[in-house]
């Protein structure tokens, strides 16, 4: 059995009964008309569930005029969403502007033109219905996003993450971080650390992280070669992800005796190796980001360094150096390197970088994820 369609309800507010009768006659058949002869009664009806879908409101009324009624409607969370159309004999521009500034959606002058009234009522009710549907869809999408973010966060969390010899800062723009930090020890004592930055941020970037994490930890726990893992990460991303989703990354392998460092930089800002607080080497990108092409030259993109006690390796995402101030000036690699030297010397900790970047941004929120990792030898 098909249920009858409920007619929209319109509250008509006017201190003259004859004016209400005219509007009733104009709108009968299509709407339920609820009359009110003064502002106090109108406010009471508007606040009673179910509230009206639209209000036709006279301006010039004794006691509480239409402007005050609208102010009170706007001040009430339960009634501020009801569209209000002023219906009045006042035609001066100042009066019309005042009503619109207070929140009225339209203005109709008396004597009314019935076809005009019908058309405007219909238009504003259609707009309200569309707005309500959009808000419902947005709430549903937000709920779904929160569920997906929760799933991704659970998938990203790994019992294999091992932060020995590490200090790090991870500050995402949103819960679904587009940067990734992985760290593990192979059975023979080699340490692997990967700092990655997926294209963009938010869900499209974060959804690829569990895939990369699985390949990384499977390789490290299995005792394989880091070169083979890099090749597999690249192949899996190229094969299974859209063309516009790829990952810039730095991957460091430290020997079990912590005397040798092998480093790969694929599209990340330069890595900085310091010893005794001074720059020993810089390692810029030697390869395209992973997932861009089907095969990469892992051996050709490798850099090797002798390290020892007092050495520090720093890897960071481009959200650090590319943080801009209100004048458009980037934080820059020089400032980053100065901070790293102070951190290696023990006068700063990685978390202090966030304070510097916030000051540089002038209080503006970040528009890219921030990741900094320090590996100690």
Same domain, 121 and 15: yes
**Whole-number pLDDT of residue 144:** 66
208 in any annotated domain: yes
Q: Which domain holds residue 363?
A: 162-376
Same domain, 128 and 213: no
pLDDT (0 to 100) of residue 211? 86
Q: Note whether residue 144 is domain-resident.
A: no
Could you read off the pLDDT of 242-263 as tens digits, one per residue?
888 899 999 999 999 999 999 9
Q: Is residue 216 part of a domain?
A: yes
Segments of the chain with pLDDT less than 50: none
For residues 113 and 168, state if they share a domain.
Answer: no
Instruction: Indicate the residue among 89, 119, 135 that finishes a domain.
Output: 135
Residue 99: the pLDDT is: 81
Model pTM above 0.75: no
Same domain membership, residue 168 and residue 82: no
Whether residue 1 lies inside any domain: the answer is no
Inside any domain, residue 152: no
The pLDDT score that the predictor gives to residue 39 is: 95
Residues 121 and 267 both lie in one domain: no
Q: Are 129 and 171 in the same domain?
A: no
Q: Per-residue b/e over 128-162, b at no fewer than 16 CB within 10 Å?
A: beeeeeeeeeeeeeeeeeeeebeebeeebeeeeeb
Are residues 176 and 284 located together in one domain of the fold? Answer: yes
Number of domains present in the structure of the chain = 2
Domain end position, chosen among 93, 117, 135: 135
Cis peptide upstream of residue 111 (ω within 30 degrees of 0): yes
Q: Are residues 123 and 272 in the same domain?
A: no
Reported as a single tens digit per residue, the pLDDT across 318-375 is: 999 999 999 999 999 999 999 999 999 999 999 999 999 999 999 898 888 899 999 9
Domain for residue 215, yes or no?
yes
């Amino acid at each position: 059995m098909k249920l009858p369609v409920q007619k929209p309800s319109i509250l008509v507010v006017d201190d003259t009964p004859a004016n209400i009768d005219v509007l009733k006659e104009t709108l009968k058949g299509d709407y339920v008309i609820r009359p009110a002869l003064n502002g106090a009664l109108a406010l009471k009806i508007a606040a009673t569930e179910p509230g009206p879908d639209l209000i036709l409101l006279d301006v010039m009324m004794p006691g509480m005029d239409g402007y005050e009624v609208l102010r009170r409607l706007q001040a009430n969370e339960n009634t501020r969403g009801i569209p209000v159309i002023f219906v009045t004999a006042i035609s001066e521009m100042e009066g019309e502007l005042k009503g619109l500034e207070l929140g009225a959606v339209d203005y109709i002058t008396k004597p009314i033109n019935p076809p005009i009234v019908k058309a405007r009522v219909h238009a504003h009710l259609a707009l309200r219905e569309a707005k309500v549907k959009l808000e419902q869809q947005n709430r549903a999408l937000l709920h779904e996003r929160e569920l997906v973010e929760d799933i991704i966060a659970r998938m990203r969390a790994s019992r294999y993450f091992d932060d020995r010899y590490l200090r790090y800062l991870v500050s995402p723009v949103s819960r679904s971080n587009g940067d990734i930090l992985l760290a593990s020890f192979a059975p023979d004592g080699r340490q692997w650390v990967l700092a990655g930055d997926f294209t963009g941020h938010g869900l499209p970037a974060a959804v690829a992280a569990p895939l990369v994490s699985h390949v990384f930890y499977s390789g490290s726990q299995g005792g394989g070669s880091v070169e083979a893992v890099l090749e597999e990460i690249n192949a899996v991303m190229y094969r299974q992800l859209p063309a516009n989703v790829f990952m810039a990354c730095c991957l460091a392998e430290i020997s079990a005796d912590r005397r040798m460092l092998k480093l790969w930089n694929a599209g990340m800002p330069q890595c900085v190796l310091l010893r005794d607080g001074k720059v020993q080497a810089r390692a810029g990108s030697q390869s395209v980001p992973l997932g861009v092409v089907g095969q990469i030259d892992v051996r050709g993109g490798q850099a090797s360094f002798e390290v020892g006690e007092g050495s520090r390796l720093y890897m960071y995402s481009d959200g650090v150096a590319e943080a801009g101030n209100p004048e458009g000036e980037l934080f820059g690699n020089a400032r980053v390197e100065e901070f790293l030297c102070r951190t290696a010397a023990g006068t700063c900790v990685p978390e202090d970088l966030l304070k510097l970047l916030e000051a540089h941004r002038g209080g503006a929120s970040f528009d890219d994820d921030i990741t900094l990792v320090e590996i100690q030898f």
